[in-house]
Amino acid sequence: MSKSDSTVRIQYPNASHDAASGAIHAPPGLQQLDPKTASSLEAPLSDEELKKRSAELNK
CA distance 35 to 19: 31
* pLDDT digits 0-9 by tens, 4-17: 567 777 766 555 65
Determine, yes or no, domain membership for 21: no
Q: Does residue 34 fall inside a structural domain?
A: yes
What is residue 8's predicted lDDT score, i.e. its pLDDT? 75
- Whether 11 maps to a domain, the answer reads no
Is residue 44 a part of any domain in this protein? yes
* Structural domain includes residue 4: no
- pTM as predicted: 0.28
Q: Which domain holds residue 37?
A: 27-59
Q: Tell me how far apart the terminal alpha carbons of the chain are, to the nearest angstrom.
A: 58
Q: Is the pLDDT of residue 3 over 60?
A: no
Residue 22 domain flag: no
Closest to 27 measured CA to CA, from 39, 15, 36: 15
Distances (CA, A) of 22 to 3, 14, 16, 27, 46: 33, 16, 10, 16, 37
21-54 pLDDT per residue, tens: 666 666 666 666 666 766 666 667 788 888 998 9
The tally of domains found in the chain comes to 1
Is 20 part of a structural domain of the chain? no
